[in-house]
Amino acid sequence: MDAKGSVSAEAAFCKTFSAMKFSLSILGFVLLLAGIAGGAAAATHRYHRHHSGAKVPEQIVLDLTPVAVLPYVVPDATGDPVRARFLRRMNLENGMEARGTRFIQPGDVSTRNLFILSVTQSLEGGFDSVNLYDKGVLSWGVMQWTAATGSLAPVLIYIKRRLMQTRQQRVWAKVFRAQGMEADSRGLIVFGRPLQSEAAIRLAFRGSTLTGNYDPKISGYWAKVMARAGRQPAIQQFQREYAQQVVDDVLTRPLPGIADHLPGHDEATVAALTGGDPYAQALVFALWTNNPRHAREYVADAAQTIEAISKSDNPAEWGEGKFRQSLFRRCRVSRFGNWKRRAELIEARANTVRISSPDAPTPFERHCQAALVARKRHLLLMADRRQAMLRLAGSDP
């Protein structure tokens, strides 16, 4: 190779080498920017995770076990007018149902509110109970919140908000939104359409606006969707939260027309009337869950009966357990729905705890049982002391 060729080759090499250095510089700069962005994103994630106050689930596992959906057929009451009247009062119609498989467990019942809800679920159903065979059109959950009465939308909105707060949006997206169900300030929304009338609710969930008519495919679909939603642990947790708030509200809400003599209170509450008796409170709540208006009427009737007997409108002067006895008596002769049966079941549970050995079915009832035993011991001790004092008084000259 001559000198001229050598110089040309060297120049070409230098030019190539310079281009390579420039490319490597650009690549390094890009990688540096990516590293900075990645570090910033990680730092931002760590900051929000630390300051959000909500636990970030490591992994959300959905319960997708099969749901058994069954047809419900109104029983034949031909030739039995009493049963026929009962069925009419219950407003039943042919439809579909998914029976409960997930419940509040006895071992978890450690508070009054959970006790009341455990009694309620024995009457209404579990977290995943669904029925599409009465005037509620679609009823769901541990309190059987209904679409037609408007109680279903608020609990779904609460559950949705709590899932977002705890970063479990995927649960809502998977079991509700992806299945066509939404809920917001407009109420229930099915496949993008707000349900703003009972006819719209019936058409969406039963496939017909006519009472007694339904499409098994549509009703069966929604029974499966809602039952599966109720099987998710996070949704069960938020059902419990919401329902316990409802219990507090029912027990502490002023009752119009029933006086209260506590300072600062013009009207009595269920908590005041029942004197802390959890079985009386459970009965009131069981009635309220079924029909709030009639429940208030029964409570007022029981209170007025005790006022007449005791000649006092002050619940503190009625005597222990008097209101409970009056309310249970009122329910024993009730012909409204299945309220007589509800009262009988709760009364039987109360009597079992009072007379059985200290082995009540829930921790809360064991606590109540221990309190009853302690109270009996105290009363016996006071009676013995009184007898002893009377004997001493009788022996004085």
**What is the Cα gyration radius of the chain?**
33
Answer yes or no: are the C-beta atoms of 124 and 143 closer than 8 Å: yes
- Residue 277 makes CB contacts below 8 A (sequence gap 6+) with 321, 323, 324
Instruction: Average pLDDT across each block of 10 residues of the chain; the chain has 397 residues. List them in order.
Output: 48 49 49 49 47 53 95 91 83 96 94 95 95 96 96 98 97 98 97 97 97 96 98 98 97 84 74 90 94 93 91 83 92 91 91 69 78 61 74 65
CA dihedral (383, 388, 392, 395) positive or negative: positive
Residue type, 168: Q
Secondary structure (3-state) at 293: helix
What are the CA-CA distances from residue 77 to residues 82, 122, 210, 337 (Å)?
A: 8, 25, 22, 16
Answer yes or no: are the C-beta atoms of 139 and 176 closer than 8 Å: no
Answer yes or no: are the C-beta atoms of 143 and 289 closer than 8 Å: yes
- Looking at residue 3, what is its pLDDT? 45
Residue 267 DSSP label: B
Run of H or E residues at 130: strand 130-132
Describe the chain by its helix, strand, coil percentages, rounded to 5: 60, 5, 30
Give the pair of three-digit tokens for residue 102. Answer: 């997930």
Beta strands at 139-140 and 187-190: parallel, antiparallel or unpaired = unpaired
- Looking at residue 367, what is its pLDDT? 72
Residue type, 351: N
Give the pair of three-digit tokens for residue 42. Answer: 């990680």
Answer yes or no: are the C-beta atoms of 180 and 190 closer than 8 Å: yes
- Residue 295 makes CB contacts below 8 A (sequence gap 6+) with 284, 287, 288
Placement of tokens 């208030």 in the chain:
296
What are the CA-CA distances from residue 98 to residues 88, 91, 119, 122, 219 (Å)?
A: 22, 19, 20, 15, 11
CA dihedral (292, 298, 301, 305) positive or negative: negative
Which residue pairs, CB below 8 angstroms and at least 24 apart, start in 48-54? Answer: 52/167, 54/165, 54/166, 54/167
